[in-house]
Structures are given as C-alpha cells and as structure tokens.
C-alpha cells in the first residue's frame, strides 16, 4: 500500500484485513455452493434454478476477486490454504447432500442473508474512514441483496405452484 493510501485509511488495518478475509473465505464457499448446486439440482424449475445458480456463482467469484485485490492492496494476504476457508468463514456452508431444488434454495438463502450481514458490517466499519473499501463493500452488498431477492422469489414460485396443484391456493 502506498504512503498516502495508508495515511488516509482511518480504519484499524488489522481488524479490517481480518473481516475482509472472512468475507473472502465466505465468497469461495458461496461460489462453490452455487457452482455445485447448478450441477446437482433436481426438481421443479430445475433448469431455471440451475441457470440462476450459475450466474450467482460467477458473481460470488467476482466478489472473491475484488476482496483479494483489496486485501493485497492493504498489505494483507488472502487466505492461502483452501482448507482454511471453512474455519475462517463465519457463514456456514452446508454440503448439498439432498439436491432437491428447495433444499438448495434454502441453503443459498441462508448464505446470502449471512453475506448481507457481513457486507453491512464492513460498510459500517469503513464509511467515512476508508472510502475505497466502503465503495467495494457497498457494491457487493447490493449484489447480495439482489441474490437474496432472486433466490427467495424462486422459493415462493415453487411453493405457489405446489399449493395450486394441491388445491391449497
Ligand atoms: Fe458474494
Ligand atoms: Fe450472493
């Protein structure tokens, strides 16, 4: 990190790097959860859900890339060993042992809600203190909010179709 860049950042750097690495590990797990889910999903609207998962996987990977770049810029080191992703991450990753679409959607919804909390927290930490990290986190937060909305909408649609079929509507 350049001299001026260090001078203008008003955030505790160690604390910031720690939470950025938590988010970084979580993004890899989120990427993998979506990537695998897109291939394993079975059940109603499978193709549409898989396409959505594939798109989200790509965006989670972009988030990981942005975080790695910022961590390095701040003089830190992104989590080096993939074995540490699970222990560093605070959002839990559930293996898609039951690949029925509703199970996968629920698992991803939990992960998205956890991600929203993470980026909200990073935004709060950096607002007015480190504009560059703030802007990155706010951009990612926006996408996580969209992800939650999209995954929730698929769940609602599948539930509605089920209720209609069973005359529960
Ligand atoms: Fe993400
Ligand atoms: Fe997401």
Domain boundaries, the chain: 12-165
How far apart are the CA of 48 and the centre of ligand 2, in A? 17
pLDDT of residue 6: 64
Q: What's the CA-to-centroid distance between 3 and ligand 1, angstroms?
A: 30
- Give pLDDT, residue 121: 98
Residue 7 pLDDT more than 80?
Answer: no
How far, in Å, from the CA of 43 to the mean position of ligand 1? 25
CB-CB contact of 104 with 52 (8 Å): no
Sorted by sequence, the CB contacts under 8 Å of residue 21 that are 6+ apart come out as 67, 71, 76, 78, 79, 88
The pLDDT > 70 percentage for the chain reads 95
Q: How far is the CA of 17 from the centre of ligand 1 (A)?
A: 17
Q: Which helix (H) or strand (E) holds 106?
A: helix 101-126
Residue 1: which pLDDT band, with cuts at 50, 70 and 90? Answer: low
pLDDT, residue 70, reads 96
Judged by DSSP in three states, 42 sits in strand
111, two tokens: 């992960």
Q: What span, in angstroms and rounded, lies between the C-alpha atoms of 152 and 87?
A: 27
Which of 62-71, 73-82, 134-143, 156-165 is least confident? 156-165
55 pLDDT exceeds 80? Answer: yes
The CA-atom distances, in angstroms, between 138 and each of 22, 90, 114, 133 are: 16, 19, 15, 8
Q: Is domain 12-165 in CATH 1.10.10.10, yes or no?
A: no
The answer to whether 102 touches 43, Cβ cutoff 8 Å, is yes
Cα of 12 vs centre of ligand 1, distance in Å, is 23
Comparing 55 with 165, the larger pLDDT belongs to 55
């Amino acid at each position: 990190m350049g001299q001026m860049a260090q001078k203008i950042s008003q955030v505790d750097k160690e604390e910031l790097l720690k939470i950025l690495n938590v988010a970084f590990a979580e993004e890899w797990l989120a990427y993998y959860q979506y990537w695998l889910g897109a291939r394993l999903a079975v059940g109603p609207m499978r193709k549409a859900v898989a396409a959505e998962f594939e798109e989200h996987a790509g965006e989670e990977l972009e988030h990981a890339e942005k975080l790695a770049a910022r961590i390095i810029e701040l003089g830190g080191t992104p989590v080096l060993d993939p074995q540490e992703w699970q222990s560093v991450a605070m959002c839990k990753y559930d293996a898609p042992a039951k690949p029925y679409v509703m199970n996968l959607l629920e698992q991803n919804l939990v992960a998205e809600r956890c991600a929203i909390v993470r980026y909200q927290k990073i935004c709060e930490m950096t607002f007015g203190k480190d504009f560059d990290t703030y802007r990155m986190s706010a951009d990612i937060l926006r996408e996580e909010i969209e992800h939650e909305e999209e995954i929730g909408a698929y769940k609602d649609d599948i539930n509605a179709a089920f209720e209609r079929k069973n005359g529960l509507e």
